[in-house]
Amino acid sequence: MKPGIVEQLGQTDLLLPARLAEGLAANARAKLRLSVLQAAASHARDPNGARFELGEECRAAGIDPVIMEALVNRATLSGGGRMTAPGLNDLLAAIWNDVTAMARAVQYGDATQGNAALERLDLLAGAAPALPRDEIELAQVAKLTAISDADGLHRLVMDLHKALNRLAAERAEETIAGADAYGVLPQDRAPIAAFMRGVTATARLKFSHPGLATTATRSGGRLIIQNDIGENDAHVVVVAVEPDAVTVTYTDIHLPRARFFAGLFKTYPVQWSGLERKSVAGLGEGGVFYLITGRCPTANDADRDAFLETLGASLVFLIDWNRARKLLRNWVAKADAVAILDWAARHRFGHRGFLELGGAEFLAAAVRHAAANRIGFGEQLDRVLGRDAAVDFLKTVLRVCAEALLQGSSVRLARDRIEADLVRHLQRVDTALLAIVIRQAGLARDIVADIARFLRDLRHQRQFDRADLTTNAQRIEEKADRIAVEARGEIVRLDANRSIRRLVDQMEDAIDELEQAAFIASLVPKALAPELIDPLDELCSAVVAGTAAAAAGVAAAIAVPEGHRVDFEDALAAVGRLIDAEHSADTAERKAMANIVSGEFDLKSALPVIELAAALERATDRLAGFGHALREHVMADLAPD
């Protein structure tokens, strides 16, 4: 129970059981101290009489027996019917404080009787004569301790004790599904049980952290349920259950957590008040906390119990929430950190397992071990993996930590699972880079397809815009350059697999050769003999086959880390097709040269054909080099760590 904040919320009925317990404890102390006072008076009259024998009673009441023994055994008569003893004033002050505590406790449950008791106590205190320190009249001792005196202090203690017992009986304590319940009615049992079903369902996710104690009582026409959540004095939830609605009052020193709490009930028709800033000395940070109230209408008992169960189940996800948010914020953006915690709460994994296993230190160790060369110290994960992948990875971290603790598996196994997931995400980063290479292959194919179309139109003497051929090729080559530059930047930033850089470079070189080939093709005369066009067609076909093989090989290589043998075989088969395309291009280039040498062609026709054939053949050379780089990349993925 957190009496400070509960009292601020006006739910004093929830405090009555604790106040009654305090009052009964004060009763035990008051009676013991009155006995000590009597024993001291007896010893002062007869120093050779019975010695102090209240040691066990003192220890049971939480009073130092050594001090009490010294007070009794050193009590002496000081003349004039008075007694002196060391610590006597402190003893008398403690008696008055105990009786005051009893009267205050009664006042909580019965204001009329409590106020009357406080008035009697004031009269008794005012009637006590003023004496030197640690001195009292023996007659005053008799008056204070006498049971027969209707106006005496001891009689007041007895009356207050009876009142406390009566109130305790009226507020008889029982346990309902784990909640401490006081003075509830039969119809209160179902909603209390529903709330506790939720609390119990997720309570294990707090692991070693204290909290989630629940108290229930009836206040007027409402059932009041209070849960202390965690250790912070200003962090509580008070639930009022009425016939047609459930009202939730929630207090927190952390504004973001209060907003998070309200967001957990989006599937219910809860009408939330605005967050209100409160300031109370002794509560929260600098006495400041935030209060939010939500009212959920309920059409029937089933609706009511469903909301109460969800409410109870949500509380564990508030424990240490701000601490977890701050840790996650070191790896991703603030909004994403909250989204991860929301996901963990809705999927009932929570974040306490992550904190229990070491939090930031645990995660940093896993990152260092799995990706020391890819993720620098203090570097945010979303910068390396991308936002979605970083969020997905941290969700896995929270899930794995919770599962490890719930299943009793080792911390090492949990870290291994997290490291494996991080490696998987890093492979996805490589996959994204390889996807860029596939785009490059597509751009290379676009250029050679334009050249092949130009040669077909040339063969059939159709009109073709030569300027468009070169302009389009140049535009594609510039686009490919930008892609390659961006890819190289990402490869450096992410410290990605170096073989990907080779693939990007080889494909860029092939595109450069094809852009040059397009320019040369635009210079070919309109009338060109079929025997010169044929080998050029074959060269274009070889390049098209090479770009297709390159794209297929990279696509297969992307899946190789998943361990599928068919993808490995497909990637190597694509490498083989790239080599075959290069051989076919060599043959076609020689054929073009042979046709020119054996025929009678003018320089204006022969020279562009020779240069075009050479440029197309060089493109297949670059694609063959791409194939060798692809093979190395695939083999590296299969190599053991």
The residues, ordered by sequence, that sit 6+ positions from 107 with a Cβ below 8 Å of its Cβ are: 113, 114, 115, 117, 118
Q: Say what the pLDDT of residue 641 is.
A: 44
Q: Using the 8-state DSSP alphabet, how is residue 285 labeled?
A: B
Q: What's the whole-number mean pLDDT along residues 272-291?
A: 62
pLDDT at 254 over 80: yes
H or E, element range at 177: none
pLDDT exceeds 80 at position 90: yes
C-beta of residue 601 within 8 angstroms of C-beta of residue 531: no
Distance CA 480, CA 514 (A): 12
The C-alpha angle 85, 89, 90, rounded to 5 degrees, equals 105
Identify the pLDDT of residue 490: 77
Reported pTM: 0.58
Question: Can you give the pLDDT at residue 99?
Answer: 94
Tokens coding 24: 């009964």
Greater confidence, 319 or 428?
A: 319
Other beta carbons less than 10 A from residue 32's beta carbon: 20
Give the Cα separation of 484 and 488 in Å (integer): 6
Choose the weakest-confidence range: 22-31, 178-187, 441-450, 574-583: 22-31
- CB burial of 143-175 (b: ≥16 within 10 Å; e: otherwise) equals bbbbeeeeebbbebbebbbebbeebbeebeeee
In this prediction, residue 327 carries a pLDDT of 93
CB 608 within 8 A of CB 466: no
pLDDT at 455: 92
How far apart, in whole angstroms, are the C-alpha atoms of residue 17 and residue 461?
103
Question: Average pLDDT of 514-527?
Answer: 91
pLDDT per residue over 443-475, tens digit each?
A: 999 999 999 999 999 888 888 888 999 999 999
> Which of 194-208, 413-427, 578-592 has the least mean pLDDT?
413-427
Rounded Cα–Cα distance for residues 245 and 242 (Å): 5
Give ∠ CA 226-327-1 in degrees, rounded to 5.
Answer: 15
Chain segment 365-387, per-residue pLDDT in tens: 888 877 656 666 667 787 777 78
How many other CB atoms are found less than 10 A from the CB of residue 641?
Answer: 3
**pLDDT computed for residue 278 by the predictor:** 53
pLDDT digits (tens, 9 = 90+) for 487-502: 888 777 666 667 888 9
Q: In what order do the strands lie in the sheet with 76-77?
A: 76-77, 82-84, 135-137
Which amino acid type is present at position 241?
V
Mean pLDDT of all residues in 146-163: 83
Give, for 293, the enclosing helix (H) or strand (E). Answer: strand 288-297
The structural domains of the chain, ordered by start, are: 11-170 (no CATH), 173-317 (no CATH), 323-409 (no CATH), 430-638 (1.20.58.220)
Distance CA 500, CA 432 (A): 11
User: Considering the chain, what percentage of its residues have pLDDT values greater than 90?
Assistant: 44
Nearest residue to 397 (alpha-carbon basis) of 211, 266, 385, 558: 385
Does the pLDDT of residue 562 top 90, yes or no?
Answer: no
H/E run at residue 348:
none
Higher pLDDT residue, 233 or 316?
316
The residues, ordered by sequence, that sit 6+ positions from 587 with a Cβ below 8 Å of its Cβ are 538
Q: 79, 78, 89: which is closest to 37 by C-alpha?
A: 89
SS3 of 190, please? helix
Q: Averaged over 126-142, what is the pLDDT?
A: 83
CA distance 194 to 304: 9
Q: Packing angle between helix 153-170 and helix 138-145, nearest 10 degrees?
A: 20
Per-residue confidence band for 16, with pLDDT thresholds at 50, 70 and 90: low
pLDDT at 416: 87
Kindly report which listed range (126-135, 267-276, 309-318) carries the lowest average pLDDT score: 126-135
Phi-psi domain of 461 (left: phi exceeds 0; alpha: psi -120 through 50; beta: other): left
230: its two tokens = 């965690």
* pLDDT tens-digit readout, 437-448: 889 999 999 999
The neighbour count for residue 224, using CB atoms within 10 Å, is 24
State the Cα–Cα distance between residues 145 and 157, nearest whole angstrom: 10
Q: What is the pLDDT of residue 14?
A: 58
Average pLDDT over residues 379-396: 82
Mean pLDDT of all residues in 106-124: 87
- Three-point CA angle 135, 141, 142, nearest 5°: 155
Convert the pLDDT of each residue in 304-351 to its tens digit. Answer: 999 999 999 999 999 999 999 999 998 889 999 999 999 999 999 999
Mean pLDDT is highest, among 152-161, 248-257, 418-427, 618-627, for 618-627
